[in-house]
Structure 1
Amino acid sequence: MSRVRIQQEDFDLAAEVAQLRAGNAKVGGVVTFVGTVRDLNEGAHVAAMELEHYPGMTEQSIERIIDQAQARWPIFDALVIHRVGPLLPRDQIVLVAVTSAHRGEAFAACEFIIDYLKTEAPFWKKEQTPDGARWVDARVSDDEALKKWG
């Protein structure tokens, strides 16, 4: 199973977690994060969002992030699914799932992966607002989140 998938299609959380756990009876914890499209960002109503990426480079970047998480914590596996293309409020954007023997390692690795994914992976977001289309800039809070990982 591929650890990284970039796709336009939605994903089924339960099916993805079941597949990630399959065949490994040592898994004692599974932690997931699902990011969704909000209808409000920086005070503006968001009618739709479009995500673009740099094919090939994006997957390699996310693979490196997962490798770093595996070097820091004794996790068994990780999965990142990130959607691209047009999305609407409430649509799922991203899934990060991590398996390990214990919950602590899985929680830490999942948070690490999403923090780095938000800042290091080459994705671009364009929102449709009542004032027209706008590109979403990187957030200071996302950069601040990285500081805790050293």
Structure 2
Amino acid sequence: MTPRIVVTEDDFDLGSEADMLEQGPDTGAVVTFTGRVRDVAGGLRHMVIEHYPGMTERALTDMATQAATRWPLSGVTIIHRHGTLAPGQRIMMVGTASRHREAAFEAASFLMDYLKSRAPFWKKEVTGDGADWVAARDSDEDALDRWRS
């Protein structure tokens, strides 16, 4: 199983990505999660997402490989956008495929927790009042505790 890792400024087609994950002959379950830009406090004009090419792809590949060693996966897709994104636009997608739903759900949850706290992306929210970098949250770090063992 070779993970599909895409870091791009372009939007993606969720249906096409899920279809690709369904192609394995032993695939019985596909789980997808899509993250979108949301205007939590009101007044968000856009979000700017930055990353270091090469480093980012290696980190995402490592996360996908860790998931594949913990669960019997037939496919993993991680897509993360960068650049300027407006409220409502897709930021990212995680997709996992396995023979059984439990492995697909667990692996997707694992990847989401690691992406939220360990992926090398930097996010800046731009409002009418200025711009602020999005800080890491303790709750994101706490979510990793269940996977440490």
TM range (shorter): over 0.9
Q: Structure 2 CA distance, aligned partners of 1:119 and 1:132?
A: 25
- In the TM superposition, structure 1's runs of 4+ consecutive aligned residues that sit over 6 Å from their partners are none
The normalised TM-score by structure 2 is 0.94
| 1:35 aligned counterpart, secondary structure | strand
Q: How far is 1:119 from its partner?
A: 1.2
- Classify the secondary structure of the residue corresponding to 1:148: helix
Say which SS state the counterpart of residue 89 (structure 1) adopts.
coil
- Tell me the number of residue pairs that the alignment of Structure 1 and Structure 2 aligns: 147
Alignment of structure 1 residues 1-150 onto 2, 5 Å: 3-22=4-23, 24-40=24-40, 43-150=41-148
Contact 2:73 2:103 in 1 (8 A): yes
| Amino acid paired to 2:65 | D
**In structure 2, what is the Cα distance between the partners aligned to 1:69 and 1:96?**
12
Residue 7 of structure 1: CA displacement? 0.4
Deviations 1:43-81 (A, max 9, x none): 353221010001000000010101111111111110000
Gap regions ≥5 residues in structure 1? none
Q: Which amino acid aligns with 1:147?
A: D
How far apart, in 2, do the equivalents of 1:130 and 1:98 lie?
38
The structural deviation recorded for 1:13 is: 0.5
Please list the CA deviations of residues 107-132 of structure 1 after superposition, one character each: whole Å capped at 9, or x if unmatched: 00000001101111110001112320
Q: Which amino acid aligns with 1:27?
A: T
Alpha-carbon distance in 2 for matches of 1:13, 1:90: 15
Whole-angstrom CA distance in 2 between matches of 1:131 and 1:12: 33
Take 1:63 and 1:72, find their aligned partners in 2: how far apart are those partners?
14
> What stretches of structure 2 of length at least 5 have no aligned partner?
none
CA distance in 2: counterparts of 1:51 and 1:2, whole angstroms: 23
- d(CA) in 1 for partners of 2:133, 2:22: 37
> Equivalent pairs: percent with the same residue?
47
